[in-house]
Amino acid sequence: MSTPAVTPERIMQFAWGYVPPLVLEAAIRHRVFDVLDGGAKNVHEVSVATGASERGLSAIMNALVGLSFLAKDAQGSYSLTPESAAFLVSTKPGFQGGLIRHCSEHLIPKWLNLNQIVETGKPVVAVNQEDGGSDFFQKFVVDIFPMSYPAAQALAGHLAASGGVGRVLDLAAGSGVWGIALAQSSEQVRVTSVDWPEVLPVTRKTVARFGLADRFSFVEGDLMQADFGSNHNLATLGHILHSEGEQRSRALLAKTFAALAPGGTIAIAEFLVNPDRTGPVNGLFFAVNMLVNTENGGTYSFEEISSWLAEAGFVNARTLDAPGPSPLILATKP
């Protein structure tokens, strides 16, 4: 049996790998998916509705057909596919284009320094530090709300089925997505949201939009200096450990343990990798993203995080299947 010939096809595809996210971003920013949500249209009609050029729209819309994000009929009318209709229309709750909106201005420019960063092991700007990251996160946390909301709802449903929670500590709350989903699940939930002073106004605004302001309190400060209070029934760390690095993560878990009541639960969302760091590929990619954007961040395995939880005093580290890149990690304070 002959061995298949090795070809450079994958390398050639990766050479143009920056194209899909930038084409998606252009379409999102020029409202292509929003306009087509009202029905199929040709390029001229989309141009009239968006104000963008027919030449520009034709190029990106045909590329989106090639990527199966749009369909095109024999008369030259474009329409949404089920995937784009569910996740790329900005007015729908499942919208996942928030991360894409940051590609050209915030994400890719930092990645262009990767050669230098690999040489030095240090980012050009660390977004997980307050002086360099506050402005970025004020904009970013709202755009990634839909990414975490389904997982937060799954956590709320799981906890409600096992008796519910009362006092919730939402660490690095950002948009407030974890506390919001938990508060929606029960009128008994009260949430303490902790984040940088420049980010908390965004948290307050989002919480108010959901009509939950009377059940939230807010604590300003860096996670290692802020007062977490005590006797919380649940603490959430939604995609936080990857930016903190191992040393700060272990210290944060110990501090969180002290803030929980006996029997309290910690819930962690992360981009998990397997123990030998050979997959999943999204976790491996995100580890490079942490190299680009943080001083010490990375991605970790369930086994690593479980060992840190045990070191902090938690027991029964376990996973909870939830929508998202990885399952949630739960553990209990005895």
Domain spans, the chain: 9-97, 130-332
CA distances from 127 to 61, 146, 291, 301 (A): 33, 21, 11, 23
9-97 matches 130-332 in fold: no
Hey, which CATH number is domain 130-332, 3.40.50.150, 2.60.40.1240, 2.60.200.30, 3.40.50.300? 3.40.50.150
Whether omega for the bond prior to residue 280 falls within 30 degrees of 0, making it cis, is yes
Q: What is the pLDDT along the chain (334 residues), one digit of tens a residue?
A: 678 889 999 999 999 999 999 999 999 999 999 999 999 999 999 999 999 999 999 999 999 999 999 999 999 999 999 999 999 999 998 899 988 988 998 899 999 999 999 999 999 877 765 555 556 665 677 888 888 999 999 999 999 988 889 999 999 999 999 999 999 999 999 999 999 999 999 999 999 999 999 999 999 999 999 999 999 999 999 999 999 999 999 999 999 999 999 999 999 999 999 999 999 999 999 999 999 999 999 999 999 999 999 999 999 999 999 998 899 999 999 9
What tokens were used for 111? 């990645």
- pLDDT of 281 reads 96
Using alpha carbons, select from 291, 286, 297, 295 the residue that is nearest to residue 113. Answer: 291
Residue 4 per-residue DSSP state: P
The topology under which CATH files domain 9-97 is Arc Repressor Mutant, subunit A (1.10.10)
CA distance 144 to 107: 14
Helices (H), the chain: 9-15, 19-29, 32-36, 43-50, 54-66, 82-87, 108-111, 114-120, 130-143, 145-161, 177-185, 200-209, 241-259, 281-293, 302-312
